[in-house]
């Protein structure tokens, strides 16, 4: 049996034993496409188009403004938040959906600084520092800088693994990514949380690249705030609204820097003075983005009955298999994995760095993969990213992608 045939056979055996294999039919994926970009834009769940058509034609088209109450549009942010909560290890009533992750980073960081300062007794040194994971997704860093200027603080960038020791008496807030967006490295925000709390600060977790990909334990691990996207592993659709988690004990103290009218205790009183709502609603700002939110709410149905431990086990098996098959198909020395081998340090994506002369051609390698029906993405300098979404990625997909990568590398090298 040839090496490629052995790979295909192994993939078929793994697919036959996959307890999540049946979930794939819940998604509208085209035959012949290997979709490995669910860490950027999740695939379309099959039931979403009909639900959206109903929302547009009946709820908006016929019920018109009555839908705010009759279709319960008004409560969609909290209702959808409660559907995401189990995927975050959060009890109900702590998650609200709305705005973008960027905006929620801003709300939570400023609120975190405010809480930490309130907790600091008079006479103690001022808390004037925001710690940010040094390899953070850019938006988090930019917003932390602005939050720091607004609150009279400075940002200090520290590697995520050192955040616990880095936190000290000046730390007001810390922002840590659960999974690094570029390398796919899994961080330990629980350890960072212990360190930041010990120092008297508050912590925000960015779970954009972990929610829906692996178990997240916000309640059990003591996160103060968390933010995340819904258009990646939660399949909410392009630009779907993000979520904000505020730990229950902190909700009465959540002092939002964006106190919009929909987070007012009595929005329709149209009062001139602001009085915050109780609970998760305090994280709202303005009118919810109903079309995207209801598409997301429908998309979340694919999680019914899904065990996150099974998702994690399949994600690790898929990424292990892909890494092995890349070694079998891609000529020696062309790519190295930025994604750690160790399961404890691996999220649900594989990032391959092109080496030597191939680095400058990495974007062409990704284009050649797209021509072969394998969709991953490219990040400078020379990084090929492949997201593995256990609900719809098969081991057969991983084998096809690795084989196509070998072909793409040879094709690009042949054009030189
Ligand atoms: C880790 C991380 N944080 C924040 C963001 C920003 O999200 P948004 O563009 O929805 O504000 C992203 C987007 O990809 C991300 O990956």
- Residue 390 annotated as binding? no
For the chain, give every residue range classified as CATH 3.90.1150.10.
3-46+307-414
Best CA proximity match to 172, nearest among 116, 123, 92, 119: 116
Alpha-carbon gap, residue 398 to 329, rounded angstroms = 12
Please report the atom of ligand 1 found closest to the CA of residue 103: 11
Is 127 assigned a catalytic role? no
Residue 221 Cβ < 6 Å to ligand 1: no
Is 231 assigned a catalytic role? yes
**Cα 232 to averaged position of ligand 1 atoms, centre (Å):** 10
Query: pLDDT tens per residue, the chain (416 residues)?
Result: 888 898 999 999 999 999 999 999 999 999 999 999 999 999 999 999 999 999 999 999 999 999 999 999 999 999 999 999 999 999 999 999 999 999 999 999 999 999 999 999 999 989 999 999 999 999 999 999 999 999 999 999 999 999 999 999 999 999 999 999 999 999 999 999 999 999 999 999 999 999 999 999 999 999 999 999 999 999 999 999 999 999 999 999 999 999 999 999 999 999 999 999 999 999 999 999 999 999 999 999 999 999 999 999 999 999 999 999 999 999 999 999 999 999 999 999 999 999 999 999 999 999 999 999 999 999 999 999 999 999 999 999 999 999 999 999 999 999 88
Helix/strand/coil for 153? coil
H-helix segments, 160-289 = 163-166, 189-198
**Cα 101 to averaged position of ligand 1 atoms, centre (Å):** 6
* Through-space distance between the first and last CA atoms of the chain, rounded to whole angstroms: 33
Residue 229 Cβ < 6 Å to ligand 1: yes
For the chain, give every residue range classified as CATH 3.40.640.10.
74-303
The active-site residue out of 27, 35, 225, 231 is 231
Is 386 assigned a catalytic role? no
Alpha-carbon gap, residue 175 to 225, rounded angstroms = 9
Q: Which CATH class is domain 3-46+307-414?
A: alpha beta
**Cα 54 to averaged position of ligand 1 atoms, centre (Å):** 29
Q: Prior bond to 381 cis, omega within 30? A: yes
Residue nearest atom 7 of ligand 1, based on CA coordinates: 101
The active-site residue out of 107, 114, 127, 385 is 385
The 3-state secondary structure of 291-359 reads: HHHHHHHHHHHHHCCCCHHHHHHHHHHHHHHHHHHHHHHCCCCCEEECCCCCHHHECCEEEEEECHHHH
The CATH topology of domain 74-303 is 3.40.640
**Cα 97 to averaged position of ligand 1 atoms, centre (Å):** 15
Considering only the C-alpha atoms of the chain, give the largest distance between any 2 of them, rounded to a whole number of Å.
Answer: 77
Alpha-carbon gap, residue 355 to 364, rounded angstroms = 14
Mutate to test the pocket of ligand 1, among 208, 285, 348 (most ligand atoms within 8 A of CB): 208
Please report the atom of ligand 1 found closest to the CA of residue 40: 14
């Amino acid at each position: 049996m040839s090496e490629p045939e052995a790979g295909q056979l192994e993939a078929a055996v793994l697919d036959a034993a996959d307890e999540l294999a049946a979930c794939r039919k819940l998604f509208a994926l085209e035959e012949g496409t290997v979709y490995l970009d669910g860490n950027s834009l999740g695939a379309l769940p099959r039931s979403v188009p009909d639900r959206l058509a109903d929302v547009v034609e009946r709820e908006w088209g016929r019920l018109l403004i009555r839908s705010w109450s009759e279709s319960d549009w008004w409560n969609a942010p909290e209702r959808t938040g409660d559907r995401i909560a189990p995927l975050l290890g959060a009890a109900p009533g702590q998650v609200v959906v709305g705005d973008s992750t960027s905006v929620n980073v801003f709300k939570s960081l400023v609120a975190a600084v405010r809480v930490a300062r309130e907790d600091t007794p008079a006479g103690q040194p001022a808390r004037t520092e925001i710690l940010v994971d040094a390899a953070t997704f850019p938006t988090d860093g930019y917003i932390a800088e602005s939050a720091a200027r607004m609150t009279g603080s400075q940002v200090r960038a520290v590697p995520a693994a050192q955040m616990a020791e880095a936190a000290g008496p000046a730390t007001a807030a810390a922002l840590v990514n659960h999974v690094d967006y570029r390398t796919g490295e899994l961080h330990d925000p629980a350890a960072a949380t212990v360190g930041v709390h010990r120092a008297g600060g508050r912590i925000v977790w960015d779970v954009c690249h972990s929610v829906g990909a692996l178990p997240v334990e916000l309640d059990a691990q003591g996160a103060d705030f968390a933010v995340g996207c819904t258009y990646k592993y939660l399949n909410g659709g392009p630009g779907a609204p993000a979520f904000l988690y505020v730990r229950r004990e902190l909700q009465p103290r959540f002092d939002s820097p964006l106190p919009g009218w929909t987070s007012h205790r009595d929005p329709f009183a149209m009062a001139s003075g602001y009085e915050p709502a109780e609970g998760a609603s305090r994280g709202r700002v303005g009118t919810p983005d109903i079309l995207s939110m209801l598409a997301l709410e429908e998309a979340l149905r694919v999680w019914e009955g899904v065990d996150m431990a099974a998702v994690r086990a399949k994600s690790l098996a898929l990424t292990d298999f892909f890494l092995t098959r890349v070694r079998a198909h891609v000529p020696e020395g062309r790519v190295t994995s930025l994604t750690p081998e160790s399961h404890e340090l691996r999220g649900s994506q594989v990032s391959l760095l092109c080496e030597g002369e191939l680095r400058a051609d990495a974007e062409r390698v990704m284009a050649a993969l797209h021509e072969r029906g394998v969709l991953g993405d490219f990040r400078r300098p020379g990084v090929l990213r492949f997201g593995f979404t256990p609900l719809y990625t098969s081991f057969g997909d991983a084998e096809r992608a690795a084989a196509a990568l070998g072909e793409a590398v040879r094709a690009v090298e042949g054009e030189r």
